[in-house]
Structure 1
Amino acid sequence: MQDEHRKAIQNNFGSLVEQTDLDVMVSALYEKGVFSEQMIEPFKDTNKDTRTRKRQLYMDIMRRGPEAFGHLLETLEENGYWNLVRELDPSSSLHLQPRISYSNQNTKSGENSYVSIRTEKKRTKSNVEVNKIQSNSDQTETAPPESNKDTMDPSGDIPYFHVVKSTKFFEDNEDKDIKLYKTRGRQRGILVIFSYIQFCNDIEKYRKGVDIDCKKLKYLFHEIGFSVIAYQDLTKPETEGTLKRLGEVLVGTECVFIVVSSHGYERAPRSSDTDIRCSDGNLISFLDIVDRFSNANFPALRGVPKVFISQLCRGRNEEWVMVPQWRRAGEGGEGEGRAAGRPPHAPGGVESDGARWAERRDLQLDRVYSDIIIAHSTVPGYVSHRDPEKGSWYIQALCEVFAARAHDCHVEKLLTLVDERMHREFAVQTSSVEKWGFNRRLYLHPGLYED
């Protein structure tokens, strides 16, 4: 294999390991002659965790001769991992535009993600893998040789923060009116991230810092016990197609989190809906995305808690108020007095970004929306702030709060604490939460599983 191809794999090693389906990749590479039948046996060894076997797969590919890289690109493209192809091959026809159009950016996203999950000819729902992440209790499995550990895996630059693990499950209390959603199994939940960072023909400003948000969210939810799927810079048709196909992997999970991060625009003054900019410049409605998960459109997720996190501007208003320092001190605890000085988003520091009931007695009426909670990083009409070096204010606060308190707080309380943290740290941005038939408590029980 040529040095430039080997280096491309090394630079994207973490993304390849995190985002690809082991069985699909092994099968396709075997059919293309990259590996012999004997050589793929180690990849089937279930005594080793899936991540370790995928690491070994991509290290072995780099030793498989001059044609292996081309076969790898073909396999990734055939299975829908188009953004990985773009990152590995600068000359790929899958690029939205020539790379040179982004050469004026100071920082380029290091976050790579695949574009879609689709039904393949030789792939059934039973072998769809969405980055199964083992809990701490499972990580006693065989580790790769020391010489191979993280020597070419850039995922090691993910900021570390301690996620407090649960020691016991919360139980339904018969004397309480509000029951609990069940979140105890190893199919605890799936986090789906849609992030839009760079845009065709530079019609929007490059969203520096969003890759940091994605890395933090992936790390946080991996530690909680979720599987993670991340999509970056999809066009509008790719976004819509991906949403349609998510049913392949979301059915059977106990909880779903969907994060949408892009430039956003209010549809009407103080509207609850927001238009989201896709990478091709087209707009898609945030509520249209939520609607895909309604009981009418996705009945298999009825009763499953669905948490939407909107990291979007919802207007252009950047106003704030100044309050006496003594008042903030009485409200804010640590960090008091922050609002008395220059607001932290000073120039250069932060960026903005059926049948009728009487006719069908055999069917039971049901509402269209339930079990949905939507957390917006800001309120209608206002911008959402982002630090180019540390990530979005809201995602910073969310990761800190969920890491520290998910073990003993339900999600509604966590989101309340997120707003409190963001107010204390940044002063001028207000988050908001909407509940659509979300009538139970949702505990994430990080790191704890029912046998």
Structure 2
Amino acid sequence: MNRPLLARIDDDLDSREVAELCFLCSDVINRKQLEEIKCARDLFVKLEEKGFLNSTFLAELFRTTRRADLLNMLESDSREREETDACPAYLSEYRLMLYKIHEDLTDDKVETLKFLVNDQIAKRQLDKSSTALNVFAEMEKAGLISKDNVDKLHELMINTDNVPLAKTVKGYKDRLPPTGPGGGVNNHSAQQETMPSEDIDEFYSLTQNPRGCCVIISNEDFTGSKYRKRLGSKMDDENLSNLFKRFGFVPIIHTNLTADKITEMLKELSKRDFSKEDALVVCVLSHGERGIIIGTDGKEVKLDNLFDLFKNVPSLFGKPKLFFIQACQDEVPLTATQKTNQDEQSKETPSDSVFSDASCPSKDGDILIGMATVPYSKAYRHTEKGSIYIQVLCQELENAANSPKRDDILTVLTRVNRKVNNHFMIRNKQMPEPKYTLTKRLVLRFVELSGTVPTY
């Protein structure tokens, strides 16, 4: 990075602010090294050693600590300008939550906090703790709190009569994976449950094993300078493939496809015989603009063209076809030629339509499209944990599968909308957009996968 710029930033940060930055960086720099840091220059050196000294990470730090002036310095430095890629950088939700609590606690509340934990933390350590962040650091050392266990923190917020902060911690707890009596992940529903007989007019039938395939198109590396690398995409691949495998689908992952390869692969997929499968799942993870996704070559693919490939497949009639799209949906200015071409395409009618019989299912039926965001908006992605939408989607689908309530996928997606929109890590709001023509309820449960399906 630009050394004179870093020097100017160092001059503008006092010791208290440096301590706050150190706390926020404690997931990437170990505690002993943090204790050696006396000024911002020391912090920058440690971040550089760890490979985290970049303007994206620093911008997130300064946004969190509300130093808009330093953020403007970063953004105005043309030599180090980086595309933000609509991601909340490297700060964990847990760390950000602790910082928010620190901001909202008065000095009196900090003293109350210290009193409540003085039987579990050495007095000399508490005496040196002048801020809530210091207390939290000591609580972490003592094993009282961690990113996977904030029960003690929730209890403290209640005991300090801080209802809003107690709700903040409760919200974080609710997003953690469910735990069983022994503290581990609750797998009780991973075993096959005895299900009541289902009304075939009310529920989609899911009896085949495997249920079908879950095709994941994941673009991470792009040619040219317009689109930067989608860090965190591999975690999305892993989360989706692991989850849908537990639902009885065979995961098929395609990485780094050009625009033509995306279309070619999905065209080939649409030609297969789905008669022995219950459903189809397609996930596309890439950069995007309004109504399109981007291939690794920077070229565009219209989403509607991809969805249309599966509307005329006889062996998929009456079966749920699920599409999950993780991509930004910003507006793209169209040239006159592009507009003309689109208008002409919209008027085309397939000459080989198979829907002459009114008793046949509608080709537009039984489709669910889960968009990570509404039009004209960005879809945020954490560079280590993956996309916010995919994280929440997988967690809520898993929670529903573990629940005895048998919530259908539309109920789950409503929860996803709410939790993404209120997500702790997103500074600017993101609202997912499910679109559907489902004609029955779709309930996804865990099954033991057996058998295979052809790959493409």
TM-score by length of 1: 0.49
- Structure with max Cα Rg: 2
